[in-house]
Structure 1
Amino acid sequence: MGKGRVVVGWIPDFPVIACGVQAAEAVAVVHHDAVVACSAAARTAGVRRRMRLRVALSRCPQLRVVERDLAAEMRCFEPVVRHLEGTVMPRLEVIRPGLIAAPARGPSRYWGGEQQLADRLVAAVTERDLPAQAGVADTVFTAALAARAGQLVPLGGDAPWLAPYPVGVLGLPRLTELLKRLGIHTVGQFAALPEDKVLARFGSEGAAAHRTASGQEARPLSARKSSDDQTVTYAFEPAEQLLEPVAFAAKAAADELHEQLAAAGVVCARLEAGVELADGRTLTRIFRHEGRLAALAVAERVRGVLQAWSDAGTLDAGGERGIVRLVLRPEQLSAATGRQSALFGERHTPEEVERAAARVQAMLGHQAVVRIELGGGRGPAERVRLIPFGDLDTDRQLPAGPWPGRLPAPHPATVYPAWLPAQLADDAGQPVTLSGRLALSAPPAHVAVEGHGRAAVAGWAGPWPVLEQWWDREPARRIARMQIAGADGRAWLLVVEHGRWWAEAHYG
């Protein structure tokens, strides 16, 4: 058995089971107007996961709709997790309620093999009067898929085992749609594509999916081994005996954790949440994170686990009562590759934004949708580069500085793609010139920009010289910039080059 083997246990339709409904009842658990789980009776009527609620109701008018309560699901699932830790394996992680993962190497040796481990895991869940299936593979993704089939994937066989599956199992609707347009319908076909080409065309998320399709973990671990500097703690003085304040603190701690990880440029694959009790005990639970859990999702999971511990009497098992410290510790840190955030409110997820961008690119061309990348430079236009959406920024230039002559704040609101012809004159109506020693021939009194009329100068600042690549005749450039405020309320960023004035930008 390989060092990285993973066992996954799966309880089918667990969100439905957590609602406490009858097995024969047609039930759908929904979140944000989409079905996240449904009962067997609902599936028989044509209801499916990820289906919009109105479509599900049209297929099954008698469908009972239940809004998802993640904290309640965690509270229902926690006794199962504790039972597994006590009878099958000492340490596991919760991917989501109803789905757990754990290293298979140690437990499989104890139970006599991977098949025996899977059988024991299923038997332990069955002891809690719940259905279960288990799978073993080299990666978490493949093992979770194998659990749905109740299979063990051979060592090193993740890629060929995944190959016949449709690309939709990767869980990325935008990528799936694009691949199908390209004639790529199976995971094996996708895995056969060159890795560098996938990265260049589909970005970091596509590259992660390509690693998954190739039988590798989606996020390669970084060399950084310690995450203590990213750990967030919240102390209670005196010890807190009510769960609501602790759940509220978990949300604040999760916010702080995400800010710290973002500032460090990393994401965590797993998150350990723990509480230190007044009697000296420490209780912990590990959740699968992979950079996908928002602060609220973390808080809901913590709240559900705390409620389960309280219902079981675990929190009050010792002498003194109360929680003295809450700890969130990220594990398995890797570099953050970045994601497009939601632009139109919480109802529009990043996946929807990416899908919309891909459709626009398909209709108008690859350059039609771009993202902004900040780089080095002295002028406002030089510091911003527009990269086609989905492409890798291969020419990233960070503003390492110093940049002599860089434009000071405030920065302009509008930067023109092509400079506008401008004139700067003194009181006598003569053009204002700039000497090689940066001396103005006269104070500017009037400014005129093509298409915007002429106005008196109310104030000015500069000039700021820019001498770039003087050692190379072709790209060498010698200019100077000035900020000019007109009496008409307009303000301009002017550039003088070869004795001629131009308007580079406008201040709003």
Structure 2
Amino acid sequence: MTGPPVRLLVLWCPDWPVVAAAAAAGIAPHVPAAVFSTNRVVARSAVARRSGVRRDMRRREAQSRCPELAVLGVDPDRDARLFEPVAAAVEELIVGVEVVRPGVVAVPVSGASGYFGGEDRLAELLLDHVPAKAGVECQIGVADGLFAALLAAHRSVRVDAGAGAEFLAPLGIGELNQPGSDRTDLVDLLRRLGLRTLGAFAALSERDVTTRFGVVGLVAHRLARGLSDRPPNRRRPPPELSLVERFDDPLDRIDAAAFVARSLAERFHAVLAGSGLACTRLGIEATTANGEELARVWRCAEPLTAPGIADRVRWQFDGWLRAADGIRPTAGVVELRLVPEETVAGRSLQLGLWRGGTGVDGSLDPAGEEQVLAAERAGRALVRVQGLLGPDGVVTAVLAGGRGPAERVRLIPWGDVRPDADEQPWPGRLPAPSPATVYQRRIPVDVRDVSGLAVRLDERNLLTGAPHLASVDGSHPRRVLDWAGPWQVVRRWWARDDGGPFAHMQVLLAAVDEQRVDMAFLLLGRLGDEHNPPQWTIEGKYD
């Protein structure tokens, strides 16, 4: 048993065995049909269900209730073969697809939901895309863990994170007996013991369940509690996908390396694509004629195309061959290795359907194509700069935890995984709205009250006077039209050298003349006393 459940999206095709059997036999959807095993119903169509055909019903009784019922046999190979187009349609949008069984696929949603704009948006895209591509109806559910996500798909609901146990509690105990689980005897015994719901079963202690029902009962008990016994089985790249190229004439010129990189990248990309993979972290390793070993790993924001691989090989050679003395290799490269350090399954590029304009047939219109190409060119340019300046040479900003606006911005190197924004509560956080501009170098400001005295905080953290005039960086004093605060900033209380305590204050300063507008600032003040005057600085500006 492993840790907490992975948040999954499950796509379920109802009554898949009978859907596949009817399709193989050429039976129209309006004809009632059922699949039988050992003369009992194991799956039936919606039309047959409305006629009174039930699961586990004998064939004679089923035909007596529905005389026109089409009788079909069980064929797992047929079900799996006909389900492949459905799995492929899902994989066109999301990587990491796991076929749980014919009729059910599960995928982790942590990355895809952020890419497509949320779990609800992702589900909408799949509900439109899969029927159009595979020609079958489907339902989608999202929850923590495969068991809860599957039951959510049966009801077409999205269960909030951490609410799996509450969702499962009122459901019947028979839900434990999913196809392939072989829990019929356990479910019958639980019913005889009076445990009618998953919540009643989950309320038992794990020790008692294990003692009475063994391993089978323990697994079922974990599922009833909203836990999971394993994450989905993601595909792993085999080691033979690495590509090695040896040269009789050592490569010591950038133009020669660029020529080699193009053909090598196309071969490398074709090998990965042949295995249904795309590279997201590319290892470039080289050996020189003097035996020097060179290596660099390139992390990419999106799966690499063949031109993207060629660009990185060429840029890396450029960095190696033009390095300073003592760092530059002493001989040309005689062996080059491309290693897929990290791969994703599915299509080589998982482009969002919202990128650019689309035509009636779903293809990108010229404006949309130009937008995608421009984004790819910009991405290559940023990686090129990163190759010259190092990984930290190009960064993007993400929201992080903190109380002040400067603390809430975190810089992430281009291509690294962008963490989710920290939305946890922070006591003492500056109230909204946040300033549009946060200064890297704080600007000093002198705040005075109507009597001309410096404004500071007293022992109760209140201002000693209402702000009346403020002089920014020694400029002419400007009238304070309005102000709010102060909000004391509690940080590094354990450090004696923090220079605090501090406080935030918002002020609206009048314009210098009629040609300029009034301006609002966020001030950060270090609280002073009778002997040390307060020091106010401008931390940010509001638009």
> TM > 0.5 between the two?
no
Q: TM-score, normalised by structure 2?
A: 0.40
Query: What is the TM-score normalised by the length of structure 1?
Result: 0.42
| Higher radius of gyration, 1 or 2 | 2
